[in-house]
Structures are given as structure tokens and as C-alpha cells.
Structure 1
Amino acid sequence: MANAEECREALEQLSRNIAKSNGDVRKAAELDRSLSCRITDLDLTFTGRLRDGSIQDLGHAPGAPTERADIRLTMSSDDLVAVVGGRLGFASAWAGGRIKLEAGFRDLLRLRTLL
């Protein structure tokens, strides 16, 4: 099981990866939406804002999210680290139920290019 700091590092790496992206991926990441990432095995939620092609204002708190974010992810700590590290495909983890992604329909359509 990954710890909270490893999860934070993974989310920061994800932000760097998004910021370096081009084309359709970059366009999809240029949303301005609140973001939460619930880490089930740590009972921890990271929150931030997807804005200008990166994750900004990253913070965390114990327990479930206190507010409903526009884009909501739920997964285990190991799955977060594995997806960002390239050892687990997001689409297959999502299809297999290991990762839950919730967002408005339009956001899901735009985010599909990130998958």
C-alpha cells in the first residue's frame, strides 16, 4: 500500500505529465474544474483544481470529500501510483472497476482523450 506522500507525488507527477501534453490531450486538460481523488485504502481525499492544463491548489484531508467536485476519482493508493507510473492502464482499470470516475457528461466526453 502506497502512503499519503507517495500519492501526493503521483498526483504532482500527473500534473506535470498533463502540462507537457500536446494536441487533443492538452485541449482536454484545459478545463477549469474542481477535482477530488478519494484514496479508499488510506481514507484520504486529495482536492485541487484542473486549470490551465495542470492540477493546481493540491491539498488533502482525511475521510470523504467535504464538497462535491466537478471531476471525482476514487481508487486505491497502489492503483493511483501504478496508473501514473505507467504500470496500469487507466482505461482498463476504469473498465475493470478498480478506478471510479464521475463527472458531468460533457466533461467525460472531453476527458476521454486522456484515457
Structure 2
Amino acid sequence: MATVEECRQALNDLAARLAANAEAQGKLDLDRTLACRLTDLGAAFHGRITAGRLIDITDGDDPKAKIALVITSDDLIDLVNGRLELTRVISSIRANPFDLLKLRKLL
């Protein structure tokens, strides 16, 4: 089981990778709040996806988030590090179908 700090770092790494790729990918029409709920740690983070970037990552849940990733800490680490495909955890993502398609392009 990964720690809360490892999960926080994974999200920050993902944010850095998305920021580096944002210009190359062009404008992605996705502006949504995001919550990442870690089921095995009882912890959560939230932020915002906008213009192909993940910004304002903060500790704590956002119950009104438009996109929610409900996942174990190890799966989050594996997903961010490319050892787990998004399609394998699609049932863990709560979002409307159009947002899911846009997320696939982003990740």
C-alpha cells in the first residue's frame, strides 16, 4: 500500500507531465473539478483539469467534483506511472461519458 505522500507526489508528477504536454496536445475542451479518493487510505485530493492541465491540487475531498477517481493508492501510483491502463480502472472513474472520452485523450 502506497502512502498518502506517495500519492500526493504521483498527482504532482502527473500535473507536471500534463503541463509539459499541454501545448503539444492542443486545446482540450475540458474544464472540470476533479476529486481523487483513495479507498485504502481514507484520504482524498482535489484539483481542477483545465486546458489540458491539472492544477490547484489540494488535500481533501470535493464532494461536488464533476470527475471523481475512486481508487486504491497502489492503483493510482501504477496508473500515473504507466503500469496500469486507464481502461482497466474505467469503472473507478465517476464522470459523464463525454468527459471520460476527453480524459482518455489527456492521459
Q: What TM-score results when the alignment is normalised by the length of structure 1? A: 0.78
Q: Return the letter of the residue paired with 2:43.
A: L
Q: Is residue 84 of structure 1 aligned with residue 80 of structure 2?
A: yes
Give runs of ≥4 in structure 1 deviating > 6 Å.
none
**Residue 66 of structure 1: how far off its partner (Å):** 4.9
Partner residue, 2:8: 8
Percent sequence identity over aligned pairs: 42
Partner residue, 2:95: 103
Q: Is residue 114 of structure 1 aligned with residue 89 of structure 2?
A: no
In 2: Cα distance, 1:8 partner to 1:44 partner? 10
**Residue 18 of structure 1: how far off its partner (Å):** 1.3
| Correspondences of 1:61-80 after superposition (within 5 Å) | 61=60, 65-80=61-76
Aligned residue for 1:42, secondary structure, equals coil
Q: How many residues align?
A: 105
Spell out, residue by residue over 1:19-70, the C-alpha distance to the aligned partner (whole angstroms, 9 max, x if none): 12233xx544x52210000000010110011123222111112xxx352201
In 2: Cα distance, 1:108 partner to 1:3 partner? 27
Structure 1 segments unaligned to the other structure (5+ residues): none
Q: What TM-score results when the alignment is normalised by the length of structure 2? A: 0.83
Partner residue, 1:46: 45
In 1: Cα distance, 2:62 partner to 2:88 partner? 29
In 2: Cα distance, 1:111 partner to 1:66 partner? 19
**RMSD between superposed Cα atoms in Å:** 1.9
